[in-house]
Amino acid sequence: MSSPALPAATDAPRDAAGGLLAGCELCDALNRMQPGQPATCWRCGSPLHTLHHGGSAESAARLSGVVALLVAAWVCIVATHIEPMVSLALRGLESSVTLSGASLVLWQQGRLALSTALFITTVVAPATEMGAMLLVAAALWWRARTGSRAGPPPRWLPPVLHLWQGMRDWNMTEILVLGMAVALVKLGQLATLIVGPGLVALMAFLALRLAALRLLSPVDAWALLDPREVPVR
């Protein structure tokens, strides 16, 4: 299936001949595009995206909102590891567990593979993704605020952006919440369940993460970079 034509973007970078320049989000190659041509990378063949982001003041205001959402999301991540997500009361006995504590319990029970998978997908991946996204958003906000978008981005920024994209596939918090909902419905018939602040923080984290991604997706971040130092075909 052929790729769609590149949409017009009034603030996208252009070369000396007036052609539209688009950076590839997968291989970092800089592409010279013309209206009506397929928007695919000459190096890896992946689709290209150029978006309209408005002026520097508008971008800085939007990115500052992303940074604020991500800082709040980090607070929620910490809360899920400190506060219990759910408490189970049965015959006078009460037991509670945190997000990271669930992996520890599985490890103590000898379920090493399940414990490792749970720890990576619900602890390591979300924290890494949010950390990388926060670094990218803060760097882009600083570039937009100081008016340095015309200059080359820091060398560490593209690798961090790649890390953010890679960790998105390993973040399984949504699946965890769905599985917990099913388990709570079944356990509610056997014991008294008390929803803890950790579960509320986890739900808030999901909402904040979604709101931040709505304002700044990886495609948006790549379009805000200035990859002029990458060779053009």
pLDDT digits (tens, 9 = 90+) for 159-214: 898 898 888 878 777 777 777 766 666 666 666 777 788 888 888 998 999 899 88
Taking CA atoms, 141 is separated from 60, 62, 128, 210, in Å, by: 5, 8, 20, 19
**Domain 56-224 CATH assignment equals 1.10.8:** no
Higher pLDDT: 32 or 136? It is 136
Residue intervals of the chain classified under CATH 1.20.140 are: 56-224
Gap between the Cα atoms of 19 and 32, Å rounded? 6
Instruction: Give how far the C-alpha of residue 8 lies from the chain's centroid of Cα atoms, to the nearest Å.
Output: 26
Helix H or strand E encompassing 94: strand 93-97
Residue with tokens 């100081």: 146
β-bridge mates for residue 32, sequence order: 21
Segment 84-95 mean pLDDT? 72
Q: For position 98, what pLDDT does the model report?
A: 81
Choice among 2-6, 83-87, 125-129, 154-158 with the minimum mean pLDDT: 2-6
Number of CB atoms found within 10 A of residue 187's CB: 15
Gap between the Cα atoms of 1 and 25, Å rounded? 20
pLDDT tens, position by position, 91-125: 766 677 788 887 888 888 888 888 888 888 888 88
Gap between the Cα atoms of 19 and 16, Å rounded? 7
Residue type, 16: A
Q: How confident is the model at residue 6 (pLDDT cuts 50, 70, 90)?
A: very low
Which of 14, 208, 184 lies closest to 130, judged by CA? Answer: 208
Gap between the Cα atoms of 148 and 168, Å rounded? 28
Segment 75-103 mean pLDDT? 79
- Check whether 233 has a pLDDT greater than 50: no
Q: For position 52, what pLDDT does the model report?
A: 42
Gap between the Cα atoms of 116 and 100, Å rounded? 11
Contacts 24+ apart (CB under 8 A), 188-191: 190/90, 191/88, 191/89, 191/90
Q: How large a percentage of the chain has pLDDT more than 70? A: 69
